[in-house]
Structure 1
Amino acid sequence: MMPPEAPANDASASADRPPAASVCAGPAYRILRNRPDFLAAARARRQGTPSMNVQARHRAEGEAAGIRVGFTCSKKVGNAVARNRAKRRLREAARAVIPELGRDGWDYVLIGRAGITADRPFEQLKDDLRHAIRKLHAPGGPRT
């Protein structure tokens, strides 16, 4: 038996119904996965907010193109369930804010905070990220 949202086999029904799988576009950035990229961001600019720390680095000419974002939480945040929840919330905040304020040629690393990242209201979490990115890109920016 087929699930009710699955398209029928005939061609006329497929034109009327969307596919069962999501066809949403991916994020406007790439995900950082390599340790050297995280370490390079750690040596660059940083901005703290109540719910997270944000590290940002302008990449050298000829390095990767586009915006890249990484997410991390230390064991201080809690067990694996708590860390994953905090990272999921950071990913969603980044998905909402980075396309709006992120700059091409920059790496951003979002670091969760113990007891706050997972529990802060989501709108405040996004506002914290907006504030951090604005400060990072302000003339003079935060100290490196």
Structure 2
Amino acid sequence: MSDALPKIERLKKRPDFLACAQGPHCARGAVLVQARSRDETPLVRAGFTATKRIGGAVERNRAKRRLREAARLLLPALASPGFDYVFIARGGVTTRPWPRLLDDVKSALIRLAADRDRPQS
């Protein structure tokens, strides 16, 4: 069954987040998505972060919950196997209408995939 969706795990360690910061990124609306290719396994890993600029702890947690749910819905279809993704909340992520937030995440993932597939010159 080669058409199986990639298994998605969580990034939890700081070195993994820092390694993703060195890769390509795409900012769309209320979210910034960073990606990094790994050659180890076809596993997809995702991490979520929100800085104090977003607001207090309640606002940051709400922002990360919204990004986790968007990633849960979109990553199985749009993620590239063997990649790590970091979703960084930007201003307005907690007040952005849900369909617009999904569009932001989807367009960022599509853009990262297109950049990956583009031949290097």
Partner of residue 101 from structure 1, selected from 72, 78, 92: 78
Q: Distance in 1 between matches of 2:64 and 2:25?
A: 18
Identical pairs, percent: 46
Alignment pair present for 1:125 and 2:101: yes
Q: Which residue of 1 aligns with 2:47?
A: 70
Q: Which residue of 1 aligns with 2:16?
A: 37
TM-superposed deviation, 1:29:
0.7
Partner of residue 66 from structure 2, selected from 84, 89, 94: 89
TM-score w.r.t. the length of structure 1 is 0.74
| CA RMSD, Structure 1 to Structure 2 (Å) | 1.6
The one-letter code sitting in structure 1 at the alignment partner of 2:34 is Q
Q: Which residue of 1 aligns with 2:28?
A: 49
Note the residue ranges of structure 2 that are not aligned, 5 or more in a row. 1-5
- Which one has the bigger strand percentage? 2
- Deviation beyond 6 Å, 4+ runs, structure 1: none
TM-superposed deviation, 1:45:
0.4
Q: Distance in 1 between matches of 2:93 and 2:8?
A: 22
**SS of residue in 2 equivalent to 1:120:** coil
Q: Where do residues 124-143 of structure 1 align in structure 2 (5 Å cutoff)?
A: 124-138=100-114, 139-140=117-118
Q: Which residue of 2 aligns with 1:4?
A: none
TM-superposed deviation, 1:65:
4.0
